[in-house]
């Protein structure tokens, strides 16, 4: 890479990811692309456009420790009516979090998750997933906690296949996820991975308006 990040920004990464998936999926029909807000939806919009697929989101929230919210003890995700939480066992073991305390955080984050989902999707109903090929997209994978929660929620809707696709990711996390989905596509997995942002020239924050715009644009791609 001669010292340069492989992707200019999320849209550039999404176009590259879309091209890779088009080659991987071939003529696979009935594909749905789900993006993880916020940045993952921008990447997913480009993927959906490349595949001529329906676009939607799978809402996710980190579950932070009650006294140290920036440290994830798990994550929660919603795909349609299905909600799943995953736990980060090593953090929970070290922190000695009581089940009641975990549940309190889960409930609070579920409320915020549903609020954001409504704000992003508006009145559009979730895209049906049963029997379809579902591609779950984020702008990158670090620990993979939110992606694991997203995959678990998607599985509850009984898709035919589930793929995880990201432009950049930790080699360990990408390999670990391969055991729980049908395929994983990570375009760039640097041995010296430190953060998702190292794969991008521009990794600025994605606004809520950008998420809504991407979803509105992609809504006509399929259903």
Domain annotation covers residue 171? yes
Residue 138: CATH number of its domain: 3.40.50.2020
Q: Is residue 46 part of a domain?
A: yes
Provide the domain limits for residue 36.
10-59+126-218
Give residues with Cβ within 8 angstroms of 114, minimum separation 6.
Answer: 59, 78
**Is residue 19 in some structural domain?**
yes
Q: Does residue 160 fall inside a structural domain?
A: yes
Per-residue pLDDT of the chain (223 residues; tens, 9 = 90+): 446 899 999 999 999 999 999 988 876 779 999 999 999 999 999 999 999 999 999 999 999 999 999 888 999 999 888 899 999 888 898 999 999 999 999 999 999 999 999 999 888 899 999 999 999 999 999 989 999 999 999 999 999 999 999 999 999 999 999 999 999 999 999 999 999 999 999 999 999 999 999 998 875 554 4
Helices and strands (H and E) in the chain: how many: 7, 8
Compute the distance between CA of residue 13 and CA of residue 187 in angstroms, rounded to an integer: 9
| CA distances in angstroms from 54 to 14, 19, 137, 160, 220, listed in the order given | 15, 16, 13, 15, 7
What total of structural domains would you count in the chain?
A: 1
Question: pTM of the full predicted structure?
Answer: 0.92
Quick check: is 177 in a domain? yes
């Amino acid at each position: 890479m001669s010292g340069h990040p492989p992707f200019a920004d999320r849209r550039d990464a999404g176009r590259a990811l879309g091209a890779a998936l088009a080659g991987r999926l071939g003529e696979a029909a009935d594909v749905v692309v789900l993006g993880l807000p916020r940045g993952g939806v921008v990447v997913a919009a480009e993927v959906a456009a490349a595949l001529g697929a329906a676009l939607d989101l799978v809402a996710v929230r980190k579950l932070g420790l009650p006294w140290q919210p920036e440290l994830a003890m798990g994550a929660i995700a919603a795909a349609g009516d299905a909600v799943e939480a995953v736990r980060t066992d090593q953090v929970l073991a070290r922190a000695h979090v009581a089940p009641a305390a975990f549940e309190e955080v889960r409930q609070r984050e579920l409320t915020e998750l549903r609020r954001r989902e409504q704000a992003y999707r508006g009145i559009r109903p979730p895209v049906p997933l049963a029997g379809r090929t579902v591609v779950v997209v984020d702008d990158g994978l670090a620990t993979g906690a939110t992606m694991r929660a997203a995959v678990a929620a998607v599985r509850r809707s009984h898709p035919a296949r589930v793929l995880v696709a990201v432009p950049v990711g930790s080699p360990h996390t990408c390999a670990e996820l391969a055991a729980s989905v049908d395929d994983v596509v990570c375009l760039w997995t640097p041995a010296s991975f430190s953060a998702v942002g190292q794969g991008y020239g521009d990794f600025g924050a994605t606004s809520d308006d950008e998420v809504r715009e991407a979803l509105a644009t992609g809504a006509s791609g399929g259903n």
